[in-house]
């Protein structure tokens, strides 16, 4: 909030902004307890943790990370798969489905590849879910020369940057209303990612820049 006000020319500090927010009943939306959605009970091969919690990248397309989350609608669950570039935290690929199958993750990955055309050697990090360990998903990674990295068993901190994005979209969008249909939730997710998160949402880790601006400054 402080950085947004400074952007429009108001010279204010964090304490003053906090005091004014309290006086006007403006509060922070808190995240909820993490729910595990990873299906780790499978016989696919597990890749080593190449990322090793080093989420920094000097430039785009050095390190990608992905995960799957969920949205409850009155039609049933809608599952969301995302791919982030860890250099800028920008969402570069995403897909939704009413089933949490490998095709969901593959569509998000194909979007990211089409958008970025990454060089060979880019690290691709996820959890150990069956969607990511499947033969089809791993074949696609090999075709494009990715270095495959996976989190430790049941350790969400090994993929903390994507977990942070998921907490953000849930606190700032998903938990704020009831969703009648999957289509309604899908359109709202599209608007959040392309209209707010990528071009506008500021991150302290990026010097209070948004992902798009941060990438442009680094180019």
Give the pLDDT means over successive 10-residue stretches in the chain (219 positions).
51 61 59 50 81 96 97 96 98 96 96 97 96 95 98 87 96 95 98 97 92 88
pLDDT of residue 8: 47
pLDDT of residue 195: 97
- Long-range contacts, 194-198 (Cβ 8 Å, 24+): 196/172, 197/91, 197/165, 197/168, 197/169, 198/90, 198/91
CB 203 within 8 A of CB 211: yes
pLDDT of residue 9: 53
CB 81 within 8 A of CB 95: yes
Query: Would strands 76-85 and 90-97 be described as parallel, antiparallel, or unpaired?
Result: antiparallel
**Angle at the Cα of 99 from the Cα atoms of 94 and 104, rounded to 5 degrees:** 30
pLDDT of residue 43: 67
- Does this model's pTM top 0.75? My answer is yes
Domain ranges within the chain, ordered by starting residue: 1-30, 63-218
**How many angstroms from the chain centroid is the CA of residue 52?**
18
CATH superfamily of the 63-218 domain: Ribonuclease H-like superfamily/Ribonuclease H (3.30.420.10)
pLDDT of residue 156: 81
**Angle at the Cα of 157 from the Cα atoms of 149 and 69, rounded to 5 degrees:** 80
pLDDT of residue 34: 47
């Amino acid at each position: 909030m402080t950085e947004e006000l400074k952007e429009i020319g108001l010279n204010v500090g964090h304490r003053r902004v906090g005091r004014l927010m309290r006086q006007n009943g403006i509060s922070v939306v808190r995240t909820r307890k993490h729910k595990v959605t990873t299906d780790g009970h499978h016989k696919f091969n597990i890749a080593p943790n190449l990322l090793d919690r080093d989420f920094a990248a000097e430039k785009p397309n050095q390190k990608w990370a992905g995960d799957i989350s969920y949205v409850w609608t009155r039609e049933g669950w809608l599952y969301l798969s995302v791919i982030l570039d860890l250099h800028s935290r920008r969402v570069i690929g995403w897909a939704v489905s009413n089933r949490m199958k490998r095709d969901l993750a593959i569509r998000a990955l194909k979007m990211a590849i089409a958008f970025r055309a990454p060089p060979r050697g880019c690290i691709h990090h996820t959890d150990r879910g069956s969607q990511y360990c499947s033969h089809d998903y791993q074949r696609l990674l090999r075709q494009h020369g990715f270095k495959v990295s996976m989190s430790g068993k049941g350790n969400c901190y090994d993929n903390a940057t994507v977990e942070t994005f998921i907490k953000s979209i849930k606190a700032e969008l998903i938990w704020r209303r009831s969703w009648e249909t999957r289509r309604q939730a899908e359109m709202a997710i599209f608007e959040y990612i392309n209209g707010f998160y990528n071009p506008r949402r500021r991150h302290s880790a990026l010097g209070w820049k948004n992902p798009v601006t941060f990438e442009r400054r680094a180019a």
